[in-house]
Structure 1
Amino acid sequence: MAVIASLHLQPLSSFSSSSPPSPSSSKPLYLKFQTSHRENLRHLSSLGIVPQNPRLAPPANDLPVIFSAVNFLKSKGISDEDFPRLVFLCPQLFSPTFDISKIDPVFDFLTGELGASTEESKGLIVNCPNILLSDVEYFLRPTLVYL
């Protein structure tokens, strides 16, 4: 299964200055295309998630799960430069069998109960990515109460 990317194009009518665009013509146009398996592997390899040797690369049907983990972590402020460290310290995050929805409560705990900003949460995750594998109810919350 290939990952779908999109390219945002402005409607041609928005380039003409002779008349104001109507509400129906101001809708953006999207050109969607599928990236190839090789491009997906190249991107994951540039992040340090998959090895550069194609023989050691995960199968194509595992890539959507790995990309969902990458996209989720990017949405939480993790930058491309942080991924090699995360992969080295906590490779389970990028396993095709890992359920990425299990780490959302950890981010909620960090920002909600701990009161960490997005940047502080990112720093905690990058320095100690195994915290993402911790259970909020049985480990993180009791530790916070103890401290």
Structure 2
Amino acid sequence: MVGHIDNKSLLSPSLSLSLSLSSHRQTMPSAGAVALHSSLCFSCQKPSSHSISQQPNTHVGDKPRSLLQKHPLYSATHSRLSFQFKEKILCLEIMGVDAGKAMSQNPELRTATMESIESIISFLQSKGIHQKDLARIFGMCPKILTSNIKTELNPVFDFLSQDLKVPDQSFRKVINKCPRLLTSSVRDQLKPALFFLQRLGFMDLAALAYQDPILLVSNVENTLIPKLQYLENLGLSKNEARGMVLRCPSLFTFSIENNFKLKFEYFSGEMGRKLEELKEFPQYFAFSLENRIKPRHMEVVQSGINNLPLSVMLKSTDEEFRELINSNVGR
């Protein structure tokens, strides 16, 4: 596959190279990969206060070309690809990022220089992000690789520090929890979401930062408000709906069509439960309908148990639930 390049590959050289890399990953010696990663891409050491651009000897472009050209994947890829392009994709792949997927999701990455990518990496490491975190972060949000440090990334860390009161040493924990923070506009997304959530009653900044930062990257008008309105449409008051999301913030992450509607129909129809139980146990929507709710409800019905609290039926472990059922069989 590597030796043959068709016309489609000419239109998407990054994908072609990515496929070649993927097919050779298992045969690449781990020691050689580590050495190539260290030599070509960037130092594994935490960056100093000087930027990479001030240290020419750390530039990928300044390394002897022969190092990369001797790599078995280099000559096997399309000859028309530039050294710099091959170098960029190879370094991304060795770092653990699917280069083809990343460039598909972020076309700007095709023209990004290694120097700009290195500056992003250096900046994130200066904020406490570990090199081992980068594959997952960039894999989830390849847009970060072409972000502007001054106008896009730095404001996010200022927001974490100033608005969420996250100490510098805890940046890594928050970013690993929700890498999308790094691709969100502070002015247009993060601050409006924080303001809305605080008005609802989310006053625990630590909980928002470390447990539910995904709420901060959720669109207020298109995501948060419609879900509140759906709960109100079930017959809940505004305060009751607000109380439910405060008790179970993950409600804001569930789909109305694929979660709320299906589970409420089963709750009110097959189970015949009252709305009051949902107010007391909004976590109901967090359990799988097919794998948890339906099977356990059916067993409860078959066992003849009456008025079993919703929380007991769903929260108990398999062993606890089995003991509960067995203790009531035959009564």
Question: The TM-score by the shorter chain falls in which range?
Answer: 0.5 to 0.7
Aligned counterparts, 1:98-113, within 5 A: 98-101=147-150, 102-113=152-163
Q: Does 1:89 align with 2:140?
A: yes
Which structure 1 segments of 5+ residues have no match?
A: 6-30, 52-57
Counterparts in 2 of 1:141 and 1:45: CA distance versus 1, 3 Å: same
Counterparts in 2 of 1:36 and 1:126: CA distance versus 1, 3 Å: farther
Aligned counterparts, 1:13-28, within 5 A: none
**Structure 1 letter corresponding to 2:122:** N
C-alpha distance in 2 between matches for 1:103 and 1:79: 16
- Contact 1:93–1:100 (CA<8 Å) still a contact in 2? no
- Offset at 1:4? 9.7
Counterparts in 2 of 1:116 and 1:71: CA distance versus 1, 3 Å: same
How many residue pairs align between the two structures?
114
Counterparts in 2 of 1:130 and 1:82: CA distance versus 1, 3 Å: same
C-alpha distance in 2 between matches for 1:126 and 1:4: 21
Aligned counterparts, 1:48-127, within 5 A: 48-49=96-97, 51=99, 62-95=113-146, 98-101=147-150, 102-127=152-177
C-alpha distance in 2 between matches for 1:61 and 1:138: 25
- Offset at 1:59? 7.5
Q: What is aligned with 1:35?
A: 63
C-alpha distance in 1 between matches for 2:112 and 2:181: 28
C-alpha distance in 2 between matches for 1:32 and 1:131: 31
Counterparts in 2 of 1:141 and 1:59: CA distance versus 1, 3 Å: closer
Larger Rg: 2
**Structure 2 letter corresponding to 1:83:** L
C-alpha distance in 2 between matches for 1:50 and 1:70: 16
**Structure 2 letter corresponding to 1:70:** I
The alignment's TM-score, normalised by the length of structure 1, stands at 0.61
- Contact 1:87–1:93 (CA<8 Å) still a contact in 2? yes
Q: What is aligned with 2:95?
A: 47
Deviations 1:103-144 (A, max 9, x none): 110001101121001233211211211111111122211222
1:131 to 181, 199, 218: 181
C-alpha distance in 2 between matches for 1:32 and 1:66: 15
C-alpha distance in 2 between matches for 1:61 and 1:110: 27
Counterparts in 2 of 1:61 and 1:138: CA distance versus 1, 3 Å: closer
Deviations 1:23-81 (A, max 9, x none): xxxxxxxx963434639756544422464xxxxxx889711111111111111111011
- Contact 1:69–1:100 (CA<8 Å) still a contact in 2? yes
Q: What is aligned with 2:72?
A: none
Measured on the aligned residues, the alpha-carbon RMSD in Å equals: 3.4
Larger RCO (alpha carbons 8 Å, 6+ apart): 1
C-alpha distance in 1 between matches for 2:186 and 2:112: 31
